[in-house]
Chain A
Amino acid sequence: MTITLQIDGKEVKAESGVTVLEAARQAGVHIPTLCEHDRLMPYGVCRICCVEVEKKGRKRIVVSCGYPVENGLVVTTRSPRIDRIRKVLIELVAPTAMADGLLAGEMKKIATEYGADIHRFESRFTGKPIRCILCGKCVRYCDEVVGKQAIGFVGRGVDRRAVFFPEQARACLTCEACFNLCPTGKIAADTDFVVFDGFSVDDYSSGEL
């Protein structure tokens, strides 16, 4: 069934069942994302793709990668409130995500576009820079698409980490499917070996990504 909604003032038609993010893309409206991938189930943890939706006069913030379209829904993808959320989210995650004081890839683009001061909370940061924002793209791709569980999450709260399970490492040597998914550029290819942040599978022992 086709329904009609409004995105940034434009009437947009979409198939019911698709998400607001998908509908926006079809309509040529760009919404930034970090944890979304078209072959993966919506996960909704980076929160960067948040938008404002209005229904029956009630406005609220939702993440567009998970929110299903509805007839008559009014969507705003940029507003001072949305822009501020995106800016502060990047500022908050930057100290964890940076490598050598720099952000890479999609993160860097979003930081520039939303005027995030990536050093804002740096002096307060007591954690360890892990060059990882826990978007779970690698974890979920490995699980959902490749059908393996060579990478997974451990720990909770501020100690949550994505780890690579060494006992599954052999599979990674020929797979390489999670390469180039990483928004911080942590996981990359290096000739025959899967390299996690400079460590090769063979000499990687602790398992922490």
Chain B
Amino acid sequence: MTDMNDNRLSSAKQLETLRKTILSKRDAEKPIITVCTGTACQAYGSLEIYRRFVEELERQGVEGSVLETKSTGCHGFCEQGPVVVIFPREICYVRVQLDDVPEIVSTTVAGGDVIERLVYRDPNTQEAIPKESDIPFYKRQMRLVFGNNRYIDPREIDDYIALGGYAALSKALLRMTPGEVLEEIKESNLRGRGGGGFPAGLKWETTRDASTGSKYVIVNCDEGDPGAYMDRAIMEGNPHAVLEGLVIGAYAIGSHDGFVYVRQEYPIAYENTMNAIDQARDYGLLGSDILGSGFDFEVVVHRGAGAFVSGESTALMSAIEGKVGEPRMKYIRTAVSGVKGMPTCLNNVETWANVPLIIERGAGWFKSIGTEGSKGTKIFSLVGKVNNTGLVEVPMGMTLRQLIYDIGGGIPQGKKFKAVQTGGPSGGVLPEQYLDTPIDFDELTGLGSMMGSGGMVVMDEDTCMVDTARYFVSFCCDESCGQCIPCREGLRTLRDILTDICEGKGKGGDIEAIEDIAEVMEDASLCALGGTAANPVLTTLKYFRDEYEAHIKENRCPAEACKALTSYYVDPAKCSACMICLRACPTEAIHGEKGIVHWIDQEKCIKCTTCYEVCPTRFSAVRRLSGEPLPPPPAPGTKVTREKKR
């Protein structure tokens, strides 16, 4: 044992003593100021805000009244960032600016009063909600995995230990046999959060029971799905939870070497993971003879090149071996033959982060949450045409409607919901009639979509479904490795057909060709990227076939979104000649003057939608037309006929 040092914990008791010591130094009455410094809030300058708090407390001479100023990981409500929460009263300030800091310190920290201006307001009711957990976005969530982010400085292992961190590891290593740990996870029916939903316990068992010798465990933090970032938020905001889960899994499987595969584009996640590993090793929670149990485990962080396909298991393992991160045939599962041909258990960040909770609270507790086939919670990144965007963690079984309306606050600007895309490029699009579907691995798959990694994109009536399919297919055209014919050539051909349809160049037989290609991609692709890449096309075709047909047969885009099929037109009967659209048009395509009806020169129009958006709703004079002939422009100098409303 070379890494002996004073801080090493070598029994359950020492860990518990450490926790009590940390807590005893903390006065529960004193305020803690937490500033979210997850990637999104940092982009809004939250690091400077954090520093300003430290300075300002000193300047105003009140640092003694504050227990701590903490920079935490992501809270999830990214759209409202930078977010500052002051505990213990949990006063939540949103969209905080640097100049707000002195006032927060004097009024709230020193004075104990709430600053109304900085409090979140419900966009529907305008009600001010000062307490974070009362905000509807948070209220309906169940934040088991993600919730601790807001209490923890991810660079401080003591914060994690104070909340009971590593107690599950202590329980597993010192009071349970590896077999008992495995049984607990199997019993919990924890399913993989990285896409496929494969039962984690079964995979662990396969790896454990595969040949003797070295075995590996890996954390998959590649997260290439566009728009999904829950893995980043966990890895950045609570890296110890993932490490603790990984060590527990390694113990159950009989592995002594692990990897954390973090994509290149996640520098904060990488740094925080490296730091967490150092701190855990310092406490003897990694390395040799962990907590005096005799169990040894080391972990290495591998930075990936950030390709979507590198998140696929065989590709990821090739990358770890130092080869090109491309998938290979896997008729022998990686759980049996993975890294360097050795049994390798790969799980997603969120999957690992669930493990300590299950070990600590028991499989029975975990199974009490969720549906028959899907237990526990799932984190989604809720984005698109929805009022509250961000990361949300909900119990399995919540319906899509509850998620989108109760947590997401519904569709902005009173528009109509059209569809929700789940599962990213491998997933599908579900229409309104399935809004009451409970969120569950098998329910979503049954409808042609999938849970995937948890991307959830809400679309309103202005979104074209053919264009949506084209978007995802184009993404995969660039992100496929390009090795196998069905994926490479299938995606290229699908993209070219879909682009033609969006541009009004669709032909009879296109839909049949799409179906033919999609089926062959599904049946014959080398890896699941190609095997599922047609899902966005197949589901839009299944639920919105009429939109495809309108494009092909009538040159009409029902959502009036496809540029080539949509024209913008000022209705002379409604135009008040207010000059707003005329001034806003970036190409000076709109003619007219005050009192004289405006008209759009179609030759110059680039269909940027600006005129449509700026035309005051009380006039609604700018219209979009698709699939119908454009009325001729008004005679030059036509005067406004619209009656002014009083």
Contacts and interface: CB of A to CB of B under 8 A. Distances in A.
Contacts of B476: 157
A19 to B, nearest CB: 9
Interface stretch (B95-103, B180-188, B492-500): B492-500
Contact of B331 (A45, A67, A84, A156): A67
Contact of B492 (A63, A81, A120, A127): A127
A61 B481 CA distance: 21
Interface string B500-525: 10000000000001001101100111
Interface string B550-579: 000000000000000000000000000000
A81 B523 contact: yes
A84 B523 CA distance: 11
B640 interface: no
A157 B331 CA distance: 23
A155 interface: yes
A179 interface: no
B321 interface: no
A48 B513 CA distance: 19
Interface string A132-173: 011010000000000000000001111110000000000000
B307 interface: yes
A114 to B, nearest CB: 12
Contact of B526 (A47, A120, A124): A47
A47 B486 contact: yes
A35 to B, nearest CB: 9
Given A89-B485, A120-B513, A160-B488, 6 more contacts: A50-B523, A63-B524, A85-B524, A93-B489, A121-B493, A157-B476
A173 B111 CA distance: 84
19 contacts: A44-B328, A44-B329, A44-B484, A44-B526, A50-B524, A85-B523, A89-B486, A92-B485, A93-B489, A96-B489, A124-B497, A126-B492, A136-B483, A156-B307, A157-B478, A157-B479, A158-B477, A158-B488, A160-B483
B236 to A, nearest CB: 27
Chain B interface bracket (under 10, 10 to 19, 20 to 34, 35 or more): 35 or more
A44 B307 CA distance: 21
Given A88-B517, A92-B490, A160 B523 contact: no
A125 interface: yes
Interface residues of A, number: 36
Interface in A58-102: 61-63, 66-68, 81, 84-85, 88-89, 92-93, 96
B485 A121 contact: no
A200 B424 CA distance: 45
B370 to A, nearest CB: 27
A93 to B, nearest CB: 5
A45 to B, nearest CB: 4
A155 B482 contact: yes
The 4 closest A-B pairs by CB, nearest first: A160-B482, A92-B489, A66-B329, A44-B329
A81 B332 CA distance: 24
A158 B494 CA distance: 12
Nearest to B499: A126
B635 to A, nearest CB: 43
B298 to A, nearest CB: 32
B288 interface: no
Contacts of B481: 156-157, 160
Contact of A134 (B483, B497, B526): B483
Contacts of A158: 477-478, 480, 482, 488, 491-492, 495
A5 interface: no
Given A81-B523, A92-B489, A156 B497 contact: no
A87 to B, nearest CB: 9
Q: Find the residue from A42, A84, A92, A134 having the highest chain B CB count within 10 A.
A: A92
A68 B332 CA distance: 9
B485 A159 contact: no
Contacts of B523: 50, 61, 81, 85
Contacts of B477: 157-158
A68 B333 CA distance: 12
Contacts of A96: 489
Q: Find the residue from B307, B488, B500 having the highest chain A CB count within 10 A.
A: B488
B496 A125 contact: yes
Nearest to B330: A66
B484 A47 contact: yes
B485 A93 contact: yes
Nearest to B331: A67
Q: Find the residue from B476, B481, B486, B516 having the highest chain A CB count within 10 A.
A: B486
A157 B480 contact: yes
Contacts of B332: 68
Contacts of A63: 329, 524
Contacts of B520: 84-85, 88-89, 92
A160 B307 CA distance: 14
A76 to B, nearest CB: 14
Given A124-B493, A124-B500, A47 B483 contact: no
A24 interface: no
Contact of B485 (A42, A47, A124): A47
A42 B482 contact: no
B485 A45 contact: yes
Contacts of A134: 482-483, 485, 488
Contacts of A47: 484-486, 524-526
B516 A88 contact: yes
A46 interface: yes
Contacts of B517: 88, 92
B484 A46 contact: yes
A157 B490 CA distance: 11
A128 B271 CA distance: 43
A160 B513 CA distance: 24
Contacts of B483: 45, 134, 136, 160
B625 to A, nearest CB: 28
A122 to B, nearest CB: 10
A168 to B, nearest CB: 18
Given A63-B329, A158-B492, A133 B485 contact: yes
A63 to B, nearest CB: 7
A156 B524 contact: no
Nearest to A63: B329
Contacts of B489: 89, 92-93, 96
Contact of A68 (B331, B478, B484, B525): B331
Q: Find the residue from A45, A96, A134 having the highest chain B CB count within 10 A.
A: A45
Q: Find the residue from A61, A62, A133, A156 having the highest chain B CB count within 10 A.
A: A156
Contacts of B525: 47
Contacts of B513: 120-121
A120 to B, nearest CB: 8
Contacts of A44: 328-329, 484, 526
Nearest to B497: A124
A46 B329 CA distance: 12
A92 B486 contact: yes
Contacts of A48: 485
B519 to A, nearest CB: 8
Contacts of A121: 493, 496, 513
Contact of A45 (B490, B496, B526): B526
Interface string A6-32: 000000000000000000000000000
Interface in B300-343: 307, 309, 328-329, 331-332
B349 to A, nearest CB: 24
